[in-house]
Structure 1
Amino acid sequence: MVENYTPSPPQVWLLCGHKAGDNAQLLALARALGWPYEIKRLTYRPYELLVGRFGATLAGIDRRRSDALTPPWPDLVLTAGRRNEAAALWIRKQAGRPVRIVHVGRPWAPLERFDLIVTTPQYRLPPRDNVLVNTLPLHDLDQAALQQEAERWRPRLRVPGPFVTVLLGGDSGPYLFDAAAARQLARQVSQLAAAQGASLLVTSSARTSAEAVSAFEAAVTVPMQLHRYGQGDNPYRAFLGLAEAVVVTGDSISMITEACASGRPVFLFPFGHGRWAMRPDTPILPQLPWWHRRRLKAWRSDLALRLAPQRLRRDIRPMHRALIDGGHAAWLGETLRHPSPPLPDELARTAARVKALLA
């Protein structure tokens, strides 16, 4: 007599780093798979960029400040971000057996080193059997969770409704979200809220500089409740659930996607200037002096984008155009038809591709 045999589910590791948007995509995919998973949080050494290009190595990882990477080894590694690539390859090498690696975003290592790459058009990856191009970043936002968070936070609100939620991003590549950009955003969202008789619910993010938050706060002219990222319970999803409309800075495609998934009208705030301005007709000149480290970093990004091979360039503007042309969002100051068409549900398709790797 042959007994029924049920194989144990694959063991999954998530390599989480310093970017909240990357980590959110990994968590969404792990939950969609429905398999047990462990989160491995990694901290990097200052010289990681120099040693992380050598393939399977932990030389760029600060192992004392990171979660332990020890046996039993996983069957599947989910990773995102350039800094985690070498660690994912190192895990496969240590295991001495097939360990599937799924990379979300755009890898810097040769594409053939990964079993599956889940990417979006901004990264311009060439068509390959192991490359899955989605329209937007992965997310698992749902209305029930938003409303639950909204009700949990409602007693803590200090301003009257209705509400316009504002999601603040920060510097990204050649884009500088400095005091000048923050003040311009504050003026525009104040006008929007005043026209609707609304208050502002505002939350910053890990990339928002203290300078930008202070400039934004000083320039707002309507009632506002402001949450600074990292200070206590994060109301991000609650503020989405409470919103009548959402304004989000154009630097973060992940935040934009989640704002659109909330079902609220979404307005994008463009900033930047020169060849990489999000909207060339409305440039915002940075206030920072040319020798400031953030300004120099933006120039380095500009140079890298011009000189790097196409596969290593990142241009977020096609994503903006796709969302606006699809009726999912509008530029701040313009009109948006509502309700917006639903976003494509690409999470299930992505999970199915990953499961096929371990069939």
Structure 2
Amino acid sequence: MDDLLRTPPPPRTWCLLGRKAGDNAQVTALADALGWPWEPRHVAARSWELLPHLALRVTLAGIDRAASSPLAPPWPDLVLTAGRRNEPVARWIRRQAGGTTRLVHVGRPWAPLDSWNLVVTTPQYFLPAAPNIRHNTLPLCDLQPDALAAAGEALAPRLATLPRPWIAVLVGGDSGKYVYTAAKGRRLGALARRLAAANGGSLLVTGSPRTPPAALDALAGEVDVPHLLHRWGEGANPYLGLLALADAFVVSGESMSMLAEAQTRGRPVYIFDPGDGGTPWWRLRHGWRYKPLSHRLAMRFGPRRMRRDIGRIQDALVASGAALWLDEEASVAPLPAAGTAGAVCAQELAASAAAVKALFQASSPAAR
């Protein structure tokens, strides 16, 4: 009788983590929301990893196994992953496990959609409605209150002499059609400076691993108001502290993860558009100069469903009143009232976790 009543152990769960912080943040947020123990598996992709992806092969050929986490039994019951580079790895793991591992992909997969037990996606990917696809309005995020509070407490002494409101400027970098040039950094700096000056406040600027140094240098050259400037790799990353303490946010429009995380704070959010209008990026000189060959080939010759339009999320946020475009008019106006989008992120994360748990009530995992 005791054996019959004993609670079964939670599914053994692996999170495949790659080089993109935004992808990793979504995967670990979903894992934490499940409430199950999980194990990280870091995947180091080779420079030519695109080739096996274009062939949709179930292989480890595209990764550097010596630089990656070990992939060995006991095999997991569940793999959570995001990003193109990890897809063949997830499918390889399921093959080694005899087809029993359930696979959950966050974002937009390259492999056929029926290869996945569940895909958790957002509007920029144009995925269809299907039983194994969950559509959210924003990327997954889970900012732990204790971690935020600790980060804010650690950062507060550095901000003590800066006048409020504190306006955090979260700078991203090259992504898809968005290429950060010095000219764009200069424009962002000028608009953010005007916003701080119009409101008598300060700028709290932080770059990211993707931020080109020339773009951040150009931005810094425009800032003559009280400010904090952090360059990636120079000391402790203040990002969480800024999320905890800032009174408003200016966010790079190409970073859906930073937009989502700023939205959870319930404070004014401005979107800076680093795009180049309607001109395809591969026709722009700076696009060819800055983009790696693998990405250029993928975007130029990949199937249509591999494309994305981040503007769909940006436009939805602005249309709903949850964000403003940072333009000349907005940069000289008073800060708006706080937003209410934080509850949306929490609700979608909980619903996504429930969809994952439901996979273990189903009769069998996907066969492919």
What is the TM-score of this pair, normalised by structure 2? 0.88
1 CA distance for matches of 2:294 and 2:278? 12
Alignment of 1:90 with 2:84, yes or no, is no
Structure 1 stretch displaced more, 14-23 or 326-335: 326-335
What is the SS of the residue equivalent to 2:205?
strand
Where does residue 293 of structure 1 map in the other structure? 289
1:124 equivalent among 108, 123, 126 = 126
Shift in alpha-carbon separation, 1:263–1:148, aligned structure 2, 3 A? farther
**Which runs of structure 2 are paired with 1:185-200 in the superposition (5 Å)?**
185-200=188-203
Greater RCO (CA < 8 Å, at least 6 residues apart):
2
Where does residue 61 of structure 2 map in the other structure? 59
For residues 75-116 of structure 1, what are the alpha-carbon distances to aligned partners after superposition, in whole Å with 9 as ceiling and x for unaligned? 000000011000000001111241000000000011111100
Where does residue 326 of structure 1 map in the other structure? 320
Q: Does the aligned pair in 1 maintain the 2:162–2:227 contact within 8 Å? A: no
Structure 1 stretch displaced more, 37-46 or 1-10: 1-10
Shift in alpha-carbon separation, 1:199–1:144, aligned structure 2, 3 A? same
Where does residue 73 of structure 2 map in the other structure? 71
Unaligned residue ranges in structure 2 (runs of 5+) = 362-368
Shift in alpha-carbon separation, 1:265–1:46, aligned structure 2, 3 A? same
2 CA distance for matches of 1:81 and 1:312? 12
**Which runs of structure 2 are paired with 1:90-169 in the superposition (5 Å)?**
90-141=92-143, 145-157=147-159, 159-162=161-164, 163-169=166-172
Q: Does the aligned pair in 2 maintain the 1:240–1:262 contact within 8 Å? A: yes
**Which runs of structure 2 are paired with 1:1-359 in the superposition (5 Å)?**
1-3=1-3, 4-52=5-53, 53-141=55-143, 145-157=147-159, 159-162=161-164, 163-275=166-278, 293-294=289-290, 300=296, 304=300, 308-333=302-327, 334=330, 337-343=336-342, 344=344, 345-359=347-361
2 CA distance for matches of 1:158 and 1:215? 26
Deviation of residue 17 (structure 1)?
A: 0.5
Deviation of residue 337 (structure 1)?
A: 4.2
Structure 1 stretch displaced more, 263-272 or 113-122: 263-272
Where does residue 283 of structure 1 map in the other structure? none
Shift in alpha-carbon separation, 1:71–1:258, aligned structure 2, 3 A? same
What is the SS of the residue equivalent to 1:23?
helix
Q: Does the aligned pair in 1 maintain the 2:177–2:287 contact within 8 Å? A: no
For residues 317-348 of structure 1, what are the alpha-carbon distances to aligned partners after superposition, in whole Å with 9 as ceiling and x for unaligned? 11011101111100114267423233412000
Deviation of residue 158 (structure 1)?
A: 7.1
RMSD: 2.5
What is the SS of the residue equivalent to 2:79?
strand
Deviation of residue 55 (structure 1)?
A: 2.2
1 CA distance for matches of 2:318 and 2:145? 22
Unaligned residue ranges in structure 1 (runs of 5+) = 279-285
2 CA distance for matches of 1:277 and 1:149? 40
1 CA distance for matches of 2:93 and 2:141? 26
Structure 1 stretch displaced more, 7-16 or 49-58: 49-58
Where does residue 282 of structure 1 map in the other structure? none
Deviation of residue 192 (structure 1)?
A: 0.9
Q: Does the aligned pair in 2 maintain the 1:246–1:266 contact within 8 Å? A: yes
Alignment: residue pair count: 349
2 CA distance for matches of 1:112 and 1:217? 47
What is the TM-score of this pair, normalised by structure 1? 0.90
What is the SS of the residue equivalent to 1:346?
helix
2 CA distance for matches of 1:298 and 1:246? 33
State, as a whole percentage, how many aligned pairs show the same letter. 50
Where does residue 281 of structure 1 map in the other structure? none
Q: Does the aligned pair in 1 maintain the 2:179–2:287 contact within 8 Å? A: no
Q: Does the aligned pair in 1 maintain the 2:56–2:111 contact within 8 Å? A: no
Structure 1 stretch displaced more, 224-233 or 4-13: 224-233
Deviation of residue 49 (structure 1)?
A: 0.7
What is the SS of the residue equivalent to 1:15?
strand
